[in-house]
A and B are shown apart, each in its own frame.
Chain A
Amino acid sequence: MSALTFTLKIRTTQRIDVSALTPEKLQGQSPETTAAILLPSGKHALRVDEVFDIAGDDAGNIVFKNSDGKLDYIGSQMKSGSIIVEGEAGAYLGFQMRSGNITVHGNTGVYAASGMAGGFIHIHGNAGDFLAAAIVGDRKGMKGGTVIVSGNAGDRVGDQMRRGILLIEGNVGSYCASRMLAGTIGVLGTVGDHVGFGMRRGTLLLTKTPEMHATLQDCGTHTLPFLSLMFKSFAQLPGKFAKIGSNRVQRYAGDIANDGKGEILVLQ
């Protein structure tokens, strides 16, 4: 069996919702049924075979080739298997994903990993704004699982994130960890303005001291034993976070304007 491969063959001006193309939804479907699935695109619906060349038969391993940033909801509510995106991914990558793996060899749009509750996402390029954040009307962002971004990420990373591990090897924009509820965010590069704005709980691990607003309070330099546990759990992950050795950090607590149980740890 070879991976079920969807090669994008048209360029649309409208976005295309490919949430129907996940391992568990395509499991056991005949090629004809798969080809006939209708994908919402603006006010129209497009057949899968109008949009993609389809090859392969292993629905547990799905590959999107030649993809562009118009493909939204890749791996939405996914519960098993793996999806590899060779190209760009649109908005809502891994939306409410429960389990399985998504690898993107390119950039992603906004709201990647929003509502994600489990599984693993590796974005080799850059991620857009609202990575792991809550969609409008939702009160929780990412709720579990692990996300690694090899590149940079946009603004509002981890907004209202509730649980899980979000690791960004590059830089991130403004309002990182804003209104964060819990979980762990790591950023190896720089963060923009207003980091930890309204942060309630959770851990933001940084390598450089950012500019901080008044309601983030310095708690001193410490060697924290839990970091050994955390870095040990990172050791199996791909990328740079697996190589962090030190567990000595400067600890800032906040946002004390919002309960103040969050922390920003700056590696020393």
Chain B
Amino acid sequence: MLINGVQIDDTFAEAFNMRGTRVIITAQNLKWAYNAANAMTGFATSVIGCGVEAGIEKELAPEETPDGRPGVAILMFAMGSAVLMKQLETRMGQCILTCPTAAAFSGLEGNDRISLGKNLRFFGDGFQISKQFGGKRYWRVPVMDGEFITEETTGMVRAVGGGNFLVLAESQPQALAACEAAIEAMKKIPNVIMPFPGGVVRSGSKVGSKYKSMFASTNDAFCPTLKGLTRSELSPEIESVMEIVIDGLTDLDIRKATRAGIAAACELGAENGIKRISAGNYGGKLGQFQFHLRDIMSDPALAGI
């Protein structure tokens, strides 16, 4: 399969069941909503080292938020509900409670609820006040800038993490330009985040290592400087490979984001040095989901995304 001269490999991304949640962060203005949300989703690139994968999903206009202030929605994913709850609580405490004017609200309905401000209220040392409006419980915690407002709980859903694709290019700047274009397109897709810095990861990994203490190590088959040393996946003209990892609330969301991202990367085409699109998997043995690149790129149901 060729799109604009870019080869789409006959392979698939392997993804996993995760637990996901959405939190709406509002503040006096977007600047401070971003300050809070950036802190909350910082150091959350991979569950391997950070516990959760998190990112900003979208900006929200004042009329879209519960308290009528500007805000952003963030998505957070973890391998299990216990980790997700723990991480949400610590990040709420250190990043939202602390951020001037910031407030946090549930971004997901549903019966599976996890604590948002439920335990954070005790920071109020007895001066915290509970209020219930429209069937939802909120906490008012007195803080130095006034009152910190948080909803008691947010929803948790079964989600999908680890959707991905690789961009193989003739040079590092070209690979990065393609990934930037892909990320811009993918940011428009709801219900997904690309958790790595700027949405792009350059250190793709394989399972295992020569060192006993390491569970994962560099994906040497895709490292351009090792072409002559290892069983390389790269043809001679490939000089740089970058990966985009996608977490989403459903597998359809990931399919949509994959489609939008690959389409945008391919728009630069072979003439801009973009040669191949591939994907990372573990032979299909580990993950519950497989995202076959050619299926996604030829699926008429995803056209127009």
Contact = CB atoms under 8 A, between A and B. Distances in A.
Contacts, number: 45
Given A222-B146, A223-B146, A233-B134, A228 B67 contact: yes
A29 to B, nearest CB: 32
Contacts of A261: 126-127, 129
A137 interface: no
A163 B146 CA distance: 24
B138 A226 contact: yes
A5 interface: no
* Dominant secondary structure at the B interface: strand
B147 A232 contact: no
Contacts of B69: 225, 228
Nearest to A118: B135
Interface string B180-201: 0000000000000000000000
Contacts of B140: 224, 226
Interface string B83-127: 000000000000000000001000000000000000000000011
A216 B113 CA distance: 38
Interface string B25-67: 0000000000000000000000000000000000000000011
Contacts of A224: 140, 146-147
Contacts of B127: 261
B103 A232 contact: no
Given A224-B146, A224-B147, A229-B149, A203 B131 contact: yes
Nearest to A144: B132
Given A232-B66, A232-B68, A226 B134 contact: no
B216 to A, nearest CB: 44
A165 B134 CA distance: 10
Contacts of A163: 132
A201 interface: yes
Contacts of A232: 66-68, 133
A226 B66 contact: no
Interface in A228-255: 228-230, 232-233
Interface string A181-192: 010100000000
B146 A226 contact: no
A225 B131 CA distance: 12
Contacts of B147: 222, 224-226
B130 A182 contact: yes
Contacts of A225: 67, 69, 103, 146-147, 149
Contacts of A165: 133
Contacts of B146: 222-225
B129 A229 contact: no
A261 B69 CA distance: 28
A203 B126 CA distance: 16
A222 B138 CA distance: 19
B131 A184 contact: yes
A163 B132 CA distance: 8
Interface in A153-176: 163, 165
Contacts of B133: 165, 229-230, 232-233
B129 A201 contact: yes
Contacts of B67: 225, 228-229, 232
B232 to A, nearest CB: 57
A246 to B, nearest CB: 13
Contacts of A201: 129
Contacts of A226: 131, 138, 140, 147, 149
Interface in B120-173: 126-127, 129-134, 138, 140, 146-147, 149
Contacts of A233: 133-134
Given A165-B133, A230-B133, 17 more contacts: A163-B132, A222-B146, A224-B140, A224-B146, A224-B147, A225-B67, A225-B103, A225-B146, A226-B138, A228-B68, A229-B131, A229-B149, A230-B131, A232-B67, A232-B68, A233-B133, A233-B134
27 contacts: A165-B133, A201-B129, A203-B129, A222-B146, A223-B146, A224-B140, A224-B146, A225-B69, A225-B103, A225-B149, A226-B131, A226-B138, A226-B147, A226-B149, A228-B67, A228-B68, A229-B67, A229-B133, A229-B138, A230-B133, A232-B66, A232-B133, A233-B133, A233-B134, A261-B126, A261-B127, A263-B129
